[in-house]
């Protein structure tokens, strides 16, 4: 079966190896004539980025490069990108990179049409209705990691350095017009980034699947996404040029983000403050928390996890599922405790307060109050499941 297809679920996705060749056409189809090319400094130096820029020029839609995006982007990155967008008279964005560059590109395109600061659009209540939707600039998204699924998402994550809070900015119009998912672009990812981003995709699938609300569409997508991770993540980490494994991980990332409109939970609620305070990698941080959160939630999710385990070809039991997660983490080099991320208990009170206030906390299958967040955090420090 060729791993190539066109999806609209709901974002238009051009999926398959080599499809970066269609970038110019996709930009034109999005009615963009003068794109700002948003990426990060590491990626800007890679030949594949230069090649993508050259393709745009050859297609008659030359782009200007903006690469002042750091991993875990901050407000200053968005402000600088917005200034570049306006100064260059751009009419759209090509967002090229991991979640950091994709989110930054989406946020720049969103902010370009607004007069209010981006913080007014934090994903709380109906804040998004304040936006002038008609003036959001179009985005073509090109992921180079397989994890966040930001290429099909309606949100961007940005850290507010004044408060050290990682905030989710949401608007339905922030969804890219088109995503080009070309697994060849992920071949050069270092194993630790492959592992971390892949576990982010798994965390999205599992937190969506375990969420308590009724959303069978999301459940189905999440279950198959988790199965693809089981088939492919360790392979992709071990053998970076295994294009089949890379393709399945890229699909799992899209599926995780499609599913998590249902819910996220305590993994993300705890990982957001840790990422904001310690600048750890988002997916790797999720991977450390994941088994502790599953065990904490056990009584609410045991039946569902049993069903999922059976679907994934495991013994249909919670224990078998947990053992699989622990074995996968060990195989791909995820630390078992927070010490492996150089995170200690020095800011535990703040982390607990931030976790319960995180917009993802209410999606956890059991209530995530301060006591619960503290318990999970302590266990993740000590390694006692």
- Write out the residues near ligand NAD by the rule CB under 6 A: 40, 42-43, 71-72, 97-101, 103, 144-145, 147-148, 150, 153, 155-157, 185-186, 188-189, 193, 197, 200, 257, 282-283
- Choose among 360, 186, 230: nearest CA to 286: 360
Shortest separation between residue 373's beta carbon and ligand NAD, angstroms: 19
Residue number, 225 or 306, with CB nearest to ligand NAD: 225
Q: Choosing among ligand NAD, Fe ion, none, which partner's interface includes residue 347 (Cβ < 5 to 8 Å by kind)?
A: none
Q: Which is nearer to Fe ion, 49 or 144 (CB)?
A: 144
Select 182 or 200, whichever has its Cβ closest to Fe ion.
200
Which of 103, 182, 200, 358 touches Fe ion by CB under 5 A? 200
Number of chain positions touching Fe ion (CB under 5 A): 1
User: Which residue, 266 or 322, is less far from ligand NAD as judged by CB?
Assistant: 266
Q: Cis bond leading into 312, ω under 30°?
A: no
Q: Of the two residues 100 and 232, which places its CB atom closer to ligand NAD in the complex?
A: 100
Select from ligand NAD, Fe ion, none the partner in contact with residue 72, using the beta carbon and a kind-dependent cut-off of 5 to 8 Å.
Answer: ligand NAD
Helix H, strand E, coil C: the string for the chain is: CCCCEEEECCCEEEECCCHHHHHHHHHHHCCCCCEEEECCHHHHCCHHHHHHHHHHHHCCCCCEEECCCCCCCEHHHHHHHHHHHHHCCCCEEEEEECHHHHHHHHHHHHHCCCCCCHHHHECCCCHHHHCCHHHCCCEEEEECCCCCCHHHCCEEEEEECCCCEEEEEECHHHCCCEEEECHHHHCCCCHHHHHHHHHHHHHHHHHHHHCCCCCHHHHHHHHHHHHHHHHHHHHHHHCCCCHHHHHHHHHHHHHHHHHCCCCCCHHHHHHHHHHHHHCCCHHHHHHHHHHHHHHHCHHHHHHHHHHHHHHCCCCCCHHHHHHHHHHHHHHHCCCCCHHHHCCCCCCHHHHHHHHHHCCCHHHCCCCCCHHHHHHHHHHHHHCCC
Nearer of residues 122 and 200 to Fe ion, judged by Cβ = 200
Closer by beta carbon to ligand NAD, 191 or else 316: 191
Question: Residue 320 Cβ, how far from ligand NAD at the closest point, in Å?
Answer: 27
The partner in contact with residue 147, picked from Fe ion, ligand NAD, none with C-beta cut-offs of 5 to 8 angstroms by kind, is ligand NAD
3 close to 247: Cβ distance less than 8 angstroms: yes
What Rg value do the Cα atoms of the chain yield, rounded?
20
In the complex, what is the shortest distance from the CB of residue 105 to ligand NAD, in angstroms, rounded to a whole number?
Answer: 11
> How many angstroms separate the CA atoms of 140 and 244, rounded?
24
Which is closer to Fe ion, CB of 151 or CB of 200? 200
Q: Give yes or no for a contact between 333 and 340, defined as CB atoms under 8 angstroms apart.
A: no
**Which of Fe ion, ligand NAD, none sits in contact with 144, Cβ below 5 to 8 A by type?**
ligand NAD
Minimum separation from the CB atom of position 79 to ligand NAD (A): 17
CB of 256 to Fe ion, least distance (A): 8
Could you say which of ligand NAD, Fe ion, none residue 98 binds, taking C-beta under 5 to 8 angstroms by partner kind? ligand NAD
Which of Fe ion, ligand NAD, none sits in contact with 43, Cβ below 5 to 8 A by type? ligand NAD
CB of 60 to ligand NAD, least distance (A): 27
- Binding segment for Fe ion among 21-29, 199-207, 300-308, 319-327 (CB under 5 A)? 199-207
Q: Which stretch binds Fe ion (CB under 5 A): 12-20, 49-57, 198-206, 336-344?
A: 198-206
Query: Do 61 and 98 meet the contact criterion of CB atoms below 8 Å apart?
Result: no
Part in contact with Fe ion (CB under 5 A); list of ranges 6-14, 152-160, 197-205, 366-374: 197-205
Instruction: Please say which residue, 178 or 360, places its beta carbon nearer to Fe ion.
Output: 360
Q: Which residues of the shown chain bind Fe ion in the complex (CB under 5 A)?
A: 200
């Amino acid at each position: 079966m060729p791993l190539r297809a066109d999806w609209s679920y709901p974002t238009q996705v051009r999926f398959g190896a080599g499809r970066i060749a269609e970038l110019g056409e996709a930009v034109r189809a999005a009615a963009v004539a003068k794109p700002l090319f948003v990426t990060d400094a590491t990626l800007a130096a890679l030949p594949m980025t230069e090649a993508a820029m050259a393709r745009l020029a050859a297609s008659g839609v030359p782009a200007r490069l903006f690469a002042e995006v750091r991993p875990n982007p901050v407000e200053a990155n968005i402000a600088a990108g917005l200034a570049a967008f306006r100064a260059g008279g751009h009419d759209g964005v090509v967002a090229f990179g991991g979640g950091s560059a994709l989110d930054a590109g989406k946020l720049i395109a969103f902010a370009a049409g607004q007069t209010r600061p981006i913080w007014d659009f934090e994903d709380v209540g109906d804040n998004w209705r304040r936006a002038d939707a008609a003036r959001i600039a179009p985005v073509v998204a090109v992921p180079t990691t397989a994890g966040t699924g930001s290429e099909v998402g309606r949100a961007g994550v940005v850290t507010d350095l004044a408060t050290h809070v990682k905030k989710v900015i949401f608007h339905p119009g922030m969804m890219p017009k088109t995503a080009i998912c070309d697994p060849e672009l992920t071949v050069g990812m270092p194993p630790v980034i492959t592992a971390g981003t892949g576990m982010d995709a798994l965390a999205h699938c599992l937190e969506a699947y375990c969420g308590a609300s009724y959303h069978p569409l999301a459940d189905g997508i999440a279950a198959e996404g988790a199965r693809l991770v089981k088939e492919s993540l360790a392979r992709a980490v071990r053998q970076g040029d295994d294009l089949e494994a890379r393709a399945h991980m890229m699909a799992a990332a899209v599926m995780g983000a499609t599913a998590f409109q249902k819910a996220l939970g305590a993994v993300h609620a705890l990982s957001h403050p840790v990422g904001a305070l310690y600048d750890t990698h988002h997916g790797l941080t999720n991977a450390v928390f994941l088994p502790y959160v599953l065990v904490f939630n056990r009584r609410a999710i045991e039946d569902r996890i049993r069903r999922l385990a059976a679907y994934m070809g495991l013994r249909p039991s919670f224990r078998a599922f947990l053992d699989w997660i622990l074995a996968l983490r060990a195989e791909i080099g995820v630390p078992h405790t927070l010490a492996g991320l150089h995170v200690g208990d020095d800011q535990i009170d703040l982390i607990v307060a931030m976790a319960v206030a995180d917009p993802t906390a209410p999606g956890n299958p059991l209530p995530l109050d301060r006591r619960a967040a503290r318990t999970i955090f302590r266990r993740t420090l000590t390694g006692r499941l």
